[in-house]
Amino acid sequence: MSTDLFVQVPTTLIDPTRALIASEGVGAVYSVPWQSRTHRSAVARTAADQTRKKCPEAALLLDANLYSGRQRKVATAEPTRDWITVQRSAGLTWALTDSGYVAKGDTAGLRTTLKTAARFGGQVIAALPIASWWLSHAADSLRSEINAHGIPVALMVEDTDDPFDRTNVVTGLVHVLTADVPVLLLRSDTAGLGALAYGAAGAAMGSSTTYRHIYPDIGGGGTSGSVSFILPELLAYTSLTAFERHYLKDKSHAAWCCDCALCGGRDLTWIRTADIPKAAAFSHSVSAVAMLGRGLATAIAAHNGPQAWTAMCEAAHESNIEIEKLTGGDWKRKRALSAWIGATPEPAAA
C-alpha cells in the first residue's frame, strides 16, 4: 500500500475525506452504513470512483460493515466472492472480505472466515471483526490460526468502550502483530498508532466514535451525532462538551492546544465556532493523527517503533494525570496508555 495510516469513514463522507487524503497523505477505509447494506456494492463503488477522481493514487479499502448492528452477519456465514469482485472491478489493489462477527470462543467461525478468504486468491485481506476476548484471553490461538491460513488479516475489535483499556488487550494485540503474515488494525483510535509502532501493516482511525471500535449488538452504537476529536498531548479523544467543561479549569494548559497543520498551535476552542463543528473536529483529528504518525515514522523505519511509542505514551500519561487532578477526577485518564508502557520490550543485550 502507498501508506500505512488510514482514516475510517462512512461512505457518506467522500468529499471531506478526499480533501484530507490530498492534504495529509492518509488512505481511507470506507465503511458502508447499515442503512445502505442492500445496495452496498453501488455505494462502495461510488466512494472508490469519486475518491480516485481527485486522488488517483490514494490507498483505499472498502469495508462492507456487515459485522455490526443488531442483525449482523456472524463468522460462520462465509465471506462472499461477490464483494471481492466489487473491489477488484473498482481497481483497488487490495480487497477486504465481507466477514461476519467472530464472537468469543467462535473458533469455527474464525476458521471459516480465514479458510474462505484464502480461496479468493492474491491481494485479499481477511477482515476479522472480533470480540476483545480474542486479544485478552486467546491471542496465541488467534495468532496460530492466522499463521495456519497464511492470509493477511485486518482486526476490528468489539467492546462497549475502548477495547484497549481492557486488561491484556494491548499485550494480546502486540502478540498477534508478530504473526507471519501482515496484520492491520482497523476501526481504531490512537491504538492504531501503537499498532503501527509494533509492526502493523496498516491502521485506521475512525472518523467518529461509531468507527473507532465495534459496538455490541445490545443497543449500543456510539454517538455519531456528537462532536468528538483528539487531544494530541493526551493521546485521547474527547467530546466537545467535555472539552469545554475541562478547558474552563485552566485555559492556558498545553493539553488544549494542537500543532497540526490545521490548528497551527491554536487551542481547540476554535472547533466550537467553526461553521460546522463536526466537520472541523473530523478534519482536525485526521490532521493531528497524521502529525503524530509522521513523528513515529522515522523511529519505525529505524526499528525503534515500540520505544518511540512508549515515550509518547509516557508523556501523554503524565499529562492525563495532570488533567485528572486539575478537573478533580472529572477527566478519566486513558488506561490503555499504562498498558502500552508496560508492553515495551526490554532493550537487546549489548
Question: In this structure, are 206 and 232 located in the same domain?
Answer: no
Question: What's the domain range around 302?
Answer: 228-342
> Is a pLDDT exceeding 60 seen at residue 350?
no
Which residue matches cell numbers 455490526? 68
Cβ-proximal residues to 8 (8 Å cutoff; 6+ apart), any chain = 28, 29, 31, 63, 186, 187, 188, 204, 205, 206, 207, 211
> Is a pLDDT exceeding 80 seen at residue 2?
no
> Is a pLDDT exceeding 80 seen at residue 219?
no
Cβ-proximal residues to 264 (8 Å cutoff; 6+ apart), any chain = none
Strand partners of residue 26:
none
| CATH (domain of 121) | 3.20.20.70
Measured at the CA of 207, the angle between CA 201 and CA 211, to 5 degrees, comes to 75
Question: In this structure, are 193 and 332 located in the same domain?
Answer: no
Determine the pLDDT at residue 220: 41
Question: In this structure, are 80 and 180 located in the same domain?
Answer: yes
DSSP state of 182: -
HEC readout, 91-152: CCCCEECCCCEECCCCHHHHHHHHHHHHCCCCCEEEEEEEECHHHHCCHHHHHHHHHHHCCC
Determine the pLDDT at residue 346: 63
Question: In this structure, are 22 and 128 located in the same domain?
Answer: yes
Determine the pLDDT at residue 70: 80
Determine the pLDDT at residue 218: 58
> Is a pLDDT exceeding 90 seen at residue 244?
yes
> Is a pLDDT exceeding 80 seen at residue 349?
no
Question: In this structure, are 15 and 151 located in the same domain?
Answer: yes
CA distance 124 to 127: 9
Q: Who has greater pLDDT, 70 or 243?
A: 243
Question: In this structure, are 27 and 176 located in the same domain?
Answer: yes
pLDDT confidence of 3, banded at 50, 70, 90? confident
CA distance 243 to 29: 28
Cβ-proximal residues to 21 (8 Å cutoff; 6+ apart), any chain = 27, 28, 51, 54, 55, 58
Question: In this structure, are 116 and 143 located in the same domain?
Answer: yes
Determine the pLDDT at residue 345: 78
User: What DSSP string describes 248-263?
Assistant: TT-TT-GGGB--STTT
Q: Which of 33-37, 254-258, 307-311 has the lowest mean pLDDT?
A: 33-37
| pTM of the predicted model over 0.85 | yes
Let me know: does 339 contact 169? Beta carbons within 8 Å: yes
Tell which of 153, 184, 211 closes a domain.
211
Across the chain, mean pLDDT equals: 94
Q: Which of 76-85, 257-266, 337-346 has the lowest mean pLDDT?
A: 337-346
Which residue matches cell numbers 466537520? 279
Does any domain span residue 216? no
CA distance 295 to 308: 9
Determine the pLDDT at residue 273: 95
Question: In this structure, are 115 and 148 located in the same domain?
Answer: yes
Question: In this structure, are 169 and 234 located in the same domain?
Answer: no
pLDDT confidence of 348, banded at 50, 70, 90? very low
Query: Count of domains in the chain?
Result: 2
The residue length of the chain stands at: 350
Percent of the chain with pLDDT over 70: 96
Determine the pLDDT at residue 283: 97
Does any domain span residue 138? yes
pLDDT tens by residue, 126-175:
999 999 999 999 999 999 999 999 999 999 999 998 999 999 999 999 99
Determine the pLDDT at residue 1: 58
Secondary element (H or E) of residue 319: helix 305-326
The sign of the torsion formed by the CA atoms of 138, 194, 231, 67 equals negative
> Is a pLDDT exceeding 50 seen at residue 223?
no
